Structure 1
């Protein structure tokens, strides 16, 4: 994705910029070498290689990863870390799906899920009553879906006289896994798979989701323990990253089912006095994945109360792309880290970005960027006339060109490094 996610966010903040400005020389964002901006273990591994040419857009670096499973475009170094972990996770899952134990688990699952689903459908009583209404749709038409899929797998096995290849089981398992996602207990089993792999259980990586469904289902329905291993190895070095570290997600993301998270998130928004139509918009926005939605709301619930929190939720509800949501979530986490050491008086929305009002009356705006160049868009942001004379700080995790540092200083910004 070559469009600049952060540029899109910043572009919404330049309305009202004074038209009469002294012309200055603007920079062309540089092209970096991956060799110089990434650690060695992120340059290449058994299943991937990062291209050396890394263009930037004034805010973020854009990386391209060639892998055994396709080409991935990454916006920012954090995204590279996440993608590498997911690539290695896919490799581990594919290895498991070719194993004899996987075939055994899938073979056992052919009949088991039918009885399990019959129990859920015929005796919904206690187990379903305990679940919040928000997860009711998980169980719709589950009986016929699982039954039909399992019978097809059984028929395939019978016709082969028992001679079914690992690939046959893998293909069949994919169908069963997709049909079985909502069976009681499967969600928790998949969360455990994601925890072992150190990935976001609700990642937008479709291949990763498909492989997690397939492998988890075979072992879950087959009654076998799944042990993949929590350490992800890249380039011969253990990076041991988890979604909670790479994306700053809450620890309970691995412990609580999607339905329970939905209930918690609704309660948090109601406590923040978010209007019901906005709450509905949050849940209907596909860009707000379960993990990022929960992460944003959990972080925001720890910030100072007031109308600013409602504004921030409204802004998040209107984001249209997954990477926009990731950036927004990272910016909010950055403010929360600052709030933990230097408490804010209030939080508010500045353009499309969350901001904090410090006790010394400075407005602090989080900018989790890679490298800031003095482009016209950046200059317009720095010169916003609605902040003329205001006390303002930019909290950044990246670097600035000399021209950008000079430009922000001349427009009376304090720049604080949050590395």
Structure 2
């Protein structure tokens, strides 16, 4: 990391760039973003041509399981770290013992339950747009997607669930019962019992899944479709009690843990607590910094933030201990439409903590349009940009020209790299520029340990 230019004594005056001077995001060589170790290895190879979308790199991995897309350097490192665990899961779920124990259990019900646990709320599908939204002029309107996992589960199982909590229905309270009349078994009685068994099975399934994920050293809520499918299937069969999944994995426990630490920081509590208990834990931490109780509850029900990312978000706030502005960042989180956008907010908080250290305590989180800034106790404005490569696009330059950013003492933190045009645009506006900021748990980038060039002309 290296500071490229000193802050000016007064806010600079500059002319806006002409339309033909704006950059378009290019297709670049993957080796310019990540170190060689992440480009090929046992069981995988990365396409050397990488398209930049919304300041994040979209990688394609070729694996024996099929192609995998990774929408950032961070996700690339995670997907590669999961490969040894995926090999182990694949071997077990193809074994004769597993297939015999599974029988007909891996069917529509198992798939439905796995979807409820993994995706309590549907997220926007389609081609990812990176994190361009955070450079927008205004905050997107908060939608009506928030809902609880139990609501989703009830809708998914429909009338196969528990329409009434007991054998007696809601219309029987006023009826007189003869003492000698035989007890009738209503149509919904067996369904209620089935729903109770299904709930208990779900609890066992969730614990089995977290235990297996911990043993393998991976995120139980990973968005890796190959790993998630096999992990869910193994946990589902193991929860029936007639298949020892842990024993079947043998001595393979922890195969991914060492590598995964480079790509993401997983709080071990994610493996130990059920989602509802983890949500309660994170709610207590958010209440220490945020004031809007309803906003906290809604945020914790959002689908874009997995339980792992919610925990990372709460832990990052704990590290910063902001005096003000927590509700503003919660509102930003409520508008996140993808895993990538959720990661951006978590990593933005981590960048600030990594750069400021003890100085980060008791500052102010500030929403800037649809983006996030931080003002430390000394009055320095810090703009964290956990992007793979910053380009001087029209939207970036418009964002940098916002009135809130026209202050004297300001520093921009770029996690990855920035084009010469982007560095020039920042320099002209009086920013201290720090390239390649290393936050805790970040994967190694191509520039790790290298000083950024001083010449931006």
Same topology, TM > 0.5: yes
Counterpart CA distance in 1 for 2:58 and 2:150 is 41
What does the per-residue CA deviation read over 1:327-362, in whole Å, with 9 as the maximum and x for residues that have no partner?
Answer: 211112222323434334413133233432223311
Q: Compute the displacement of 1:325 (Å).
A: 0.6
Match of 1:95 among 77, 91, 97: 91
SS at match of 1:301: helix
Query: What is residue 200 of structure 1 aligned with on the other side?
Result: 219
Q: Compute the displacement of 1:181 (Å).
A: 8.2
Note if 1:21 corresponds to 2:11.
no
Note if 1:222 corresponds to 2:239.
no
Q: Which moved more, 1:378-387 or 1:356-365?
A: 378-387
| 1:410–1:46 CA distance, 2 compared to 1 (3 A) | same
Q: What is the 5 A alignment of 1:102-251?
A: 102-103=98-99, 106=102, 182-220=201-239, 221-222=241-242, 224=244, 226=246, 228=249, 229-232=252-255, 240-242=258-260, 245-251=262-268
Query: What is residue 68 of structure 2 aligned with on the other side?
Result: 72
Query: What is residue 333 of structure 1 aligned with on the other side?
Result: 350
Note if 1:288 corresponds to 2:287.
no
Counterpart CA distance in 1 for 2:153 and 2:404 is 52
Is the helix fraction higher in 1 or 2?
Answer: 1
What does the per-residue CA deviation read over 1:140-161, in whole Å, with 9 as the maximum and x for residues that have no partner?
Answer: 89xx99xxxxxxxxxxxxxxxx
Query: What is residue 38 of structure 1 aligned with on the other side?
Result: 34
| 1:139–1:394 CA distance, 2 compared to 1 (3 A) | closer
Counterpart CA distance in 2 for 1:22 and 1:286 is 39
Residue ranges of structure 2 left out of the alignment (5+ in a row): 1-12, 107-147, 162-197, 439-457
| 1:35–1:413 CA distance, 2 compared to 1 (3 A) | closer
SS at match of 2:266: coil
Note if 1:56 corresponds to 2:52.
yes
- Is the CA contact (8 Å cut-off) linking 1:192 and 1:254 kept in structure 2? yes
Q: Compute the displacement of 1:66 (Å).
A: 3.0
Counterpart CA distance in 2 for 1:345 and 1:286 is 29
Q: How many residues align?
A: 339
Match of 1:268 among 272, 282, 285: 285
Match of 1:388 among 401, 406, 411: 406
Q: Compute the displacement of 1:260 (Å).
A: 1.0
TM-score, length-scaled by structure 2: 0.65
| 1:416–1:359 CA distance, 2 compared to 1 (3 A) | farther
Q: Compute the displacement of 1:103 (Å).
A: 4.3
Q: Compute the displacement of 1:414 (Å).
A: 0.6
Q: Compute the displacement of 1:87 (Å).
A: 4.3
Greater relative contact order structure (CA < 8 Å, 6+ sep) = 2
- Is the CA contact (8 Å cut-off) linking 2:364 and 2:375 kept in structure 1? yes
TM-score, length-scaled by structure 1: 0.70
What does the per-residue CA deviation read over 1:255-275, in whole Å, with 9 as the maximum and x for residues that have no partner?
Answer: 222121011122233333442
Note if 1:359 corresponds to 2:377.
yes
- Is the CA contact (8 Å cut-off) linking 1:248 and 1:330 kept in structure 2? no
SS at match of 1:32: strand
SS at match of 1:284: coil
Q: Compute the displacement of 1:78 (Å).
A: 0.8
- Is the CA contact (8 Å cut-off) linking 2:289 and 2:321 kept in structure 1? no
| 1:343–1:35 CA distance, 2 compared to 1 (3 A) | closer
- Is the CA contact (8 Å cut-off) linking 2:321 and 2:361 kept in structure 1? yes
Counterpart CA distance in 2 for 1:265 and 1:32 is 39
Query: What is residue 181 of structure 2 aligned with on the other side?
Result: none
Query: What is residue 434 of structure 2 aligned with on the other side?
Result: 416
- Is the CA contact (8 Å cut-off) linking 1:269 and 1:297 kept in structure 2? yes
Q: Compute the displacement of 1:82 (Å).
A: 1.5
Report the aligned-residue RMSD: 3.4
Match of 1:83 among 65, 79, 85: 79
Q: Compute the displacement of 1:282 (Å).
A: 1.4
| 1:344–1:39 CA distance, 2 compared to 1 (3 A) | same
| 1:36–1:230 CA distance, 2 compared to 1 (3 A) | farther
